[in-house]
Amino acid sequence: MFLLHGRRSHKKPSHRQRPSGADIVVSVRIQTKSKDGYLITKLGVLTSFDNDNDVNLVAPRLVTEVLGMAIQPWQQTLSTPLMNGGTTEVQGYVDLCWSVEGSPSFNENRFLVTKHPDPPFDLILSRKEPSYHSLLRH
């Protein structure tokens, strides 16, 4: 489990914590708005896996409990591969503005929200995403 809030640890990712098959694990800042409309930043952990997954995934608990965002409905039925060879179903999507911790620039990407309420990741970035390649330089 990699969420940095609530019941989980507030440790930065390390090689020891790296999930099997992960090629990038980094702390990220995610921008969201508070209830009174102010822009605030929350922390999460972004993971990328060496596979052909062509979608970005996010845990629903990160979206609703940590970021306080609504999950937008997803009309398509989709099962997407995961790092362990299994699959996960999608319940909706969110558009997130995120940045690698310490970087001044932010990326905007669509992330599909899994149906699994508490998957073993916060965010998974597709290797096909252009911002994935900028992560390789960090």
pLDDT above 50: residue 3: no
52, part of any domain = yes
1, part of any domain = no
Torsion angle, CA of 68/70/71/73, rounded to 10 degrees? 180
130, part of any domain = yes
126, part of any domain = yes
Q: Which CATH number covers residue 114?
A: 2.40.70
9, part of any domain = no
- pTM for this model (two decimals): 0.72
Instruction: Tell the burial category of 111 from Cβ atoms under 10 Å away from its Cβ (0-12, 13-18, 19+).
Output: buried
Q: What is the pLDDT of residues 55-90, one digit of tens each?
A: 888 999 999 999 999 999 987 666 665 555 567 788
| Dmax (CA) of the chain | 42
Bridge partners, 110 (sequence order): 95
53, part of any domain = yes
Across 89-95, average pLDDT: 91
Residue 80: the pLDDT is 63
The DSSP secondary-structure symbol of 5 reads S
CA angle, residues 10, 12, 17, in degrees to nearest 5: 105
Residue 6: the pLDDT is 32
**How distant is the alpha carbon of residue 28 from its chain centre?**
9
CA–CA distance, 32 with 84 (Å, rounded to integer): 30
Report whether 73 contacts 92 (CB < 8 A): yes
Tell me how many domains the chain contains: 1
CA–CA distance, 61 with 64 (Å, rounded to integer): 5
Q: What's the domain range around 42?
A: 15-135
Per DSSP, the three-state class of 63 is: helix
79, part of any domain = yes
